[in-house]
Chains A and B, each alone.
Chain A
């Protein structure tokens, strides 16, 4: 006899979501739905009719943790639509922003993941706010990595949160030689810290992997070896940066993509049949509460080859580096491995950057309504934006954001885990629910069908 447990809201990730879980008598998830309950802000709808210059600045506001991804993806979708190739030094500045933002984002996610983990060799969970060692120096290192990354992002991108320097056609300004030197020094310091932090985090996750149980709200829960396993595919466009329809060989295939409604993918109306007031902090949803994932989910469900896929660090590692570890810990480890890559790439770009180079195109086309797309490998995975620009105005805009891709995939990955660890699996995806929640849903004939859900 299966029971229904609901964790709402979920914590230690960006945005507002919940977990609706059908569990068996032993508390093992038979089928789980993880869904966004963040209000739809409708960026794609309101973009229509606005200029190609303002839409990327609006799209940036979808998320303040990975604004660089949305700024770059939206800007490059416009550039792809109008057929504009930006100068090399503008491209390098964008990659620098990208790498800096990724390092900051991984470090921030460390803070969110650590409280689930144990100090190796002990049964003590890690409180990143603890003033005690060794946690204190780790927290300080994380903050320094973030400070370094945000400062670099600020110099190259104009602003760390919602970069101001990008524009359709390149960048507003190049940086001064002093600014380049400053980014260099910071990147060198960041690389060393990131390596230490990576090793520390991997050790922490490996320790969790070896454990048999974890404690959640006073309940001792067995950790399955297959925690977070799923059989969905992976999708990634680049190890670091991205791809666009302007590329000679684009690494994302629009013909393999389709988006459906939550209706087709989530569970129907149910009643919560079990509750646990001790679940930290504040307990699970009260018995008797009605829940309806199909109707309540505030995202579309993007499919690649007709299936939900996983995107993110592991998807990149699997696609480009033959990484083969499945499950939540594999995912976390893959994320840490991107730490040093971000800084190496950053330093490589700084080496190549000419501070006297041109950063804006000589002539900016205004577009004829062609469809263009750009994929940016955001910290959380492939962020694909599609646009049609005609005479400088946006006619169509769509955002396929990493966490949107991961929602149904992660839901499948919940199966087989004790319900108490559902959030641990979810955090493996580093969810960004504000990112995920934006909405135009089309059916198989590419007609917009989800408006009734939005209303």
Chain B
């Protein structure tokens, strides 16, 4: 078990991608989340997963309880705005009747999940029904209106025509169905960030069973941290079942160094924000949820 100050505790880290072409087709990166849930669903490890499904407006996610592979496939791709996945955590165990719940979330959502498991305030019967928590890397998130602004105004692209968005290589990328792509410097996006993200001290979903993201691996691949015993068991079975193609992390570029670098940047910057809150006012400060 590795215990890293910026990358959390993990048993192993690999570069991986799904071996299923139909999953990879619409996936953001290596199709890890979709593939892992599809495998767990088919094997009965979970009987449903809370994922960010399509909503009524383009690129606005709505949390759904997916109980079929089709529903999982419909949730592929990153939507860079808020999807309150934890909203369904209790309902999944109620009217959906699930016993083994899977959930994907950003670091903060996985934190909420773990807090709910340890301190279940109004979450009766939820703690013991969590079967698989997959975390995704997250630098920051945006409100929906910010995405409208960035795509429609800054990138001059109709949101409905967008097929993929990506933040990578220092740019915000917007791709359309007709082949055009626009890139915005991240400097432009900063003022649109959700303010609450600025006190977040978790980049690679430290509290998940398995966490995954694009940074560290080439396009079409994902970096995967296997963290808990539960995550390790499921990951090993999925590998044995031929769900994933993997490479050792030190054999790929840019590798773990870049992940560590970005994690360090995020945490250091946000720690500073937190420290500033203590003396925000004159003779008084703002609340710090970590103390």
Contacts and interface: CB of A to CB of B under 8 A. Distances in A.
B122 to A, nearest CB: 9
Nearest to B98: A178
Interface string B94-109: 1111110000000000
A182 B124 CA distance: 18
Contact of A178 (B67, B91, B124): B67
B125 A178 contact: no
A127 B96 CA distance: 39
A154 B94 contact: yes
Contact of A181 (B95, B97, B124): B97
Interface in B58-100: 67, 91, 93-99
Contacts of A154: 93-94, 124-125
A155 B94 CA distance: 4
Given A178-B47, A178-B67, A155 B95 contact: yes
Contacts of B96: 175-176, 178-179
B245 to A, nearest CB: 33
Contacts, number: 42
A173 B94 CA distance: 10
Contacts of B98: 178
Interface string A171-194: 001111011111100000000000
Interface residues of A, number: 18
Tell me which of B67, B96, B97, B99 has the highest count of chain A C-beta atoms within 10 A of its own C-beta: B97
B124 A176 contact: no
A52 interface: no
A174 B97 contact: no
A165 interface: yes
B97 A158 contact: no
Contacts of B125: 151, 154
A258 B98 CA distance: 47
A182 B98 CA distance: 9
Nearest to A175: B95
Contacts of B94: 154-155, 158-159, 165, 179
Nearest to B47: A178
A178 B91 CA distance: 13
A175 B97 contact: yes
Interface in B190-208: none
B65 to A, nearest CB: 8
A259 B63 CA distance: 50
A378 interface: no
A374 interface: no
A7 to B, nearest CB: 35
Interface string B213-226: 00000000000000
Contact of A158 (B48, B67, B95, B99): B95
B95 A179 contact: yes
A173 B95 contact: yes
A183 B125 CA distance: 15
B124 A165 contact: no
Interface string B268-288: 000000000000000000000
Interface in B35-69: 47-48, 67
A174 B94 CA distance: 10
A256 B67 CA distance: 53
A179 B97 contact: yes
Interface in A118-171: 151, 154-155, 158-161, 165
B97 to A, nearest CB: 3
A165 B97 contact: no
A18 to B, nearest CB: 33
Contact of B124 (A160, A174, A175): A160
B97 A182 contact: yes
Contacts of B124: 154, 159-161
A160 B125 CA distance: 10
Contacts of B93: 154
A158 B122 CA distance: 12
Tell me which of B93, B95, B96, B99 has the highest count of chain A C-beta atoms within 10 A of its own C-beta: B95
Contacts of A173: 91, 95
A356 to B, nearest CB: 13
Contacts of A174: 95
Contacts of A159: 94, 124
Contact of B95 (A151, A160, A161, A165): A165
Given A154-B125, A179-B95, A180-B97, 7 more contacts: A158-B91, A161-B124, A165-B94, A175-B96, A176-B97, A181-B97, A182-B97
21 contacts: A151-B125, A154-B93, A154-B94, A154-B125, A155-B95, A155-B97, A158-B94, A159-B124, A165-B94, A165-B95, A176-B67, A176-B95, A176-B96, A176-B97, A178-B47, A178-B98, A179-B94, A179-B95, A182-B97, A182-B99, A183-B97
Interface of A: 151, 154-155, 158-161, 165, 173-176, 178-183
| A-B CB proximity, top 7 nearest | A179-B97, A182-B97, A178-B97, A175-B95, A173-B95, A176-B96, A158-B94
